[in-house]
A and B are shown apart, each in its own frame.
Chain A
Amino acid sequence: MARLNLWRWGVFGLAGLYFLVPLAASVVFTVDVPGQGLTVDAYTQIVGTGGFGSSLLLSLELALATIAVVLLLMVPAMVALRLGAPKLRPVVEVVCSLPLVVPPIAFVAGIVTVLKWGPEHLSRTPLFQTFVAIQNPDFPVVLVLAYVVMALPFVYRALDAGLRAIDVPTLVEAARSCGASWPQALVQAVLPNLRGALLNASFLTLALVLGEFTVAQLLGFRPFAVWIVNVSGSQAQLSVAVSVMSLLVTWLLLLVLAGFGGRSRTTSRG
């Protein structure tokens, strides 16, 4: 048994070394600048650096819009599938898993092509204005559309786990017998029981959007992750400092969430 314990702590030790050293080294990298000694300039400069505020704000706005759209689309659909229409259930499951088969880079290649149809084929139709509008750099709706698609597998899994734990038909029937309308039954009887799952889905989507780089960069927009890469060329210390901060904030959010909703596992990358 002693041998087994030794073996186990050896494995944990090596894993801890591998997973913690890069984080510790990043912190050292940002405060111990060659030729300047110890300094926290990298952290105090973050807020004042051009583009920090606007790119972070853009990312947060995109995240909020994505969460709102994906929940509005998914919650009614998933609840309705529990109430009836069993034939639709596999359809929705497949639709929500499809983004896993299309890597983000292939997806964005498709989006770029579709966006080119605007100027190439549709310039005399009213649709052209729509194409221009969804690419407004102040708030690129096209990114929200892409992020909603990319969030579908995560949100599906989170909501499915939540719905599995409650008896939706009974809840709705009880609410209806008490005279509630359909929307009332959904909002006041079902949703409160799904609080954990909704929170889970929202945080996963938030983390996805805040860290997303591929689609935003290749479509030429500049939310937070793209800004970090752009700024890294001229200010290495600063970009690492922001990276450390954003990793820590994301982990804190997700750890808090895991504490809320018990052990949550997601086994696939978007």
Chain B
Amino acid sequence: MTATLPRVDTAPAAAVKRRRRSLGWVAVVPLLAFTAVAFGLPAWAVLDGAFTVKSTGAYSTANLTASWQGAYLTALLGSVKLSAVSAALATLLGLPLAQAVVTSRHRALREAVLTASGVLANFGGVPLAFAFVATLGNAGVLTRHLGLTDKGWDLYSFWGLVVVYLYFLIPLMVLTITPALEGLRVQWREAAQNNGATTAQYWLHVALPVLLPTLLGGFVLLFGSAFAAYATAAAIVGSSVPLITLQIADALSGNVLVGQENVALALSLDMVLVAGLVMAVYLPLQRRSARWLA
């Protein structure tokens, strides 16, 4: 906004500017110093430890190699599979729900669903896990009344976890996709209809191509969220489903072979790499989808 004002290049103005700039530094430096200690030190510890062999103290890639083998590899793949399946399901189920929310004429309902989604997507964790144990666990209410155990149901399994994860992933998808659905112009649908397109054709050739970057970005975000989840899984399955977060927790609690103490850090580094990859895919997709929504 200073650009619209007539610029007078006098000494006092320059001094004010300089003072403001130094003020900016003074205010930002505590934040940067804090994160350097509270975040930088642990991050460095993970990086350093992942490449150090505990017994000799020498740098090597032995820990990383170990984290890609045996039980650790199984856990890593288990996490990837669980996250991919639940994220894909949440994407498929979240889209119709978001569409129903966006096209609803009841403002209060829309606000309620979106607010509830914000809550569910972010704050599940332990209480959520226990709600599902009470509902679908071995002694759960639905399990007992519907005799689900005889029908082969088991909450403490891969598909059990998927059902629980959907509880926070679907709301996250609704939040991610709603702005994109709101950006679909009525004119596009009308134009398609005027040209004789059916509803199916409109969705296939107009709406989905526009939504694709958002859908993919949402999927990736959901994947990252499911991949990082620990509290829910720990409270429900203990260690009956192999997951990388559970392996790290196990290793941190001292349940590892001698000489492999730093494998937990190598596994953590693997997770950071996956999360970084998720962000590297998500951010360009988000920019791409913003093109149509402007």
* 1/0 contact string of A26-39 vs chain B (CB within 8 Å): 10111010100000
Query: Does A81 lie within 8 Å of B24, measured CB to CB?
Result: yes
Query: Does A105 lie within 8 Å of B245, measured CB to CB?
Result: yes
Q: A11-B100, A26-B131, A85-B21 are in contact. Are A267 and B221 (CB under 8 A)?
A: yes
- B residues near A26, Cβ cutoff 8 Å: 130-131, 134-135, 141
Bound-state Cα–Cα, A4 to B100, Å? 9
Least CB separation from A167: chain B residue: B1
- Of residues 220 to 246 in A, which have CB atoms within 8 Å of B's CB atoms? 225, 228-229, 232, 236, 239-240, 242-244, 246
Q: Which of B7-15, B113-121, B200-208 contacts A (4 or more CB under 8 A)?
A: B113-121
- Of residues 253 to 270 in A, which have CB atoms within 8 Å of B's CB atoms? 254-255, 258, 263-270
Query: Does B276 lie within 8 Å of A267, measured CB to CB?
Result: no
Q: List 8 A-B pairs, minimum CB-CB distance, nearest first.
A: A85-B24, A110-B42, A103-B228, A80-B27, A84-B20, A106-B268, A29-B134, A243-B127
Least CB separation from A262: chain B residue: B111
* 1/0 contact string of B144-169 vs chain A (CB within 8 Å): 10000000000000000000001110
* 1/0 contact string of A114-132 vs chain B (CB within 8 Å): 1001000000000000000
- B residues near A4, Cβ cutoff 8 Å: 103
11 contacts between A and B (CB under 8 A): A21-B142, A22-B134, A29-B140, A81-B24, A92-B32, A103-B272, A109-B268, A149-B38, A169-B1, A211-B126, A225-B126
- A residues near B135, Cβ cutoff 8 Å: 21-22, 25-26, 29
Least CB separation from A224: chain B residue: B126
Query: Does A265 lie within 8 Å of B131, measured CB to CB?
Result: no
- B residues near A29, Cβ cutoff 8 Å: 134-135, 140-141
Query: Does A113 lie within 8 Å of B45, measured CB to CB?
Result: yes
Query: Does A84 lie within 8 Å of B21, measured CB to CB?
Result: yes
Least CB separation from B37: chain A residue: A145
Query: Does A263 lie within 8 Å of B34, measured CB to CB?
Result: no
**Shortest Cβ distance from B275 into chain A, in angstroms?**
5
Query: Does B245 lie within 8 Å of A240, measured CB to CB?
Result: no
Least CB separation from B94: chain A residue: A15
Query: Does A149 lie within 8 Å of B35, measured CB to CB?
Result: yes
- A residues near B258, Cβ cutoff 8 Å: none
Bound-state Cα–Cα, A256 to B111, Å? 13
Residues of A in contact with B (beta carbons under 8 Å apart): 4, 7-8, 11-12, 15, 18-19, 21-23, 25-26, 28-30, 32, 34, 73-74, 76-77, 79-81, 83-85, 88, 91-92, 95, 98-114, 117, 145-146, 148-149, 152, 167, 169, 182, 204, 207-208, 211-214, 217-218, 225, 228-229, 232, 236, 239-240, 242-244, 246-247, 250-251, 254-255, 258, 263-270
Beyond A26-B130, A30-B134, 20 additional pairs, beta carbon < 8 A? A8-B100, A26-B131, A26-B135, A34-B144, A77-B31, A81-B24, A91-B32, A95-B32, A103-B228, A109-B264, A145-B37, A148-B38, A149-B39, A211-B124, A211-B125, A218-B252, A232-B235, A236-B134, A258-B115, A265-B114
Bound-state Cα–Cα, A79 to B276, Å? 29
Bound-state Cα–Cα, A49 to B193, Å? 65
Q: A11-B97, A106-B268, A255-B119 are in contact. Are A247 and B24 (CB under 8 A)?
A: no
- B residues near A244, Cβ cutoff 8 Å: 127, 131
- A residues near B127, Cβ cutoff 8 Å: 211, 228, 242-244, 246-247, 250
Interface membership of B96, Cβ < 8 A: yes
Least CB separation from B121: chain A residue: A269
Least CB separation from B130: chain A residue: A243
- B residues near A106, Cβ cutoff 8 Å: 46, 248, 268-269, 271-272, 275
Query: Does B235 lie within 8 Å of A229, measured CB to CB?
Result: yes
Least CB separation from A213: chain B residue: B231
Bound-state Cα–Cα, A152 to B39, Å? 11
Query: Does A269 lie within 8 Å of B43, measured CB to CB?
Result: no
Least CB separation from A152: chain B residue: B35
Interface membership of B104, Cβ < 8 A: yes
- B residues near A232, Cβ cutoff 8 Å: 130, 235
- A residues near B97, Cβ cutoff 8 Å: 11-12, 15
Out of B21, B37, B225, B248, name the residue touching A269 (CB < 8 Å). Answer: B225
* 1/0 contact string of B245-266 vs chain A (CB within 8 Å): 1001100110000000000110
Interface membership of B139, Cβ < 8 A: yes
Query: Does A267 lie within 8 Å of B121, measured CB to CB?
Result: yes
Query: Does A83 lie within 8 Å of B265, measured CB to CB?
Result: no
Query: Does A113 lie within 8 Å of B49, measured CB to CB?
Result: yes
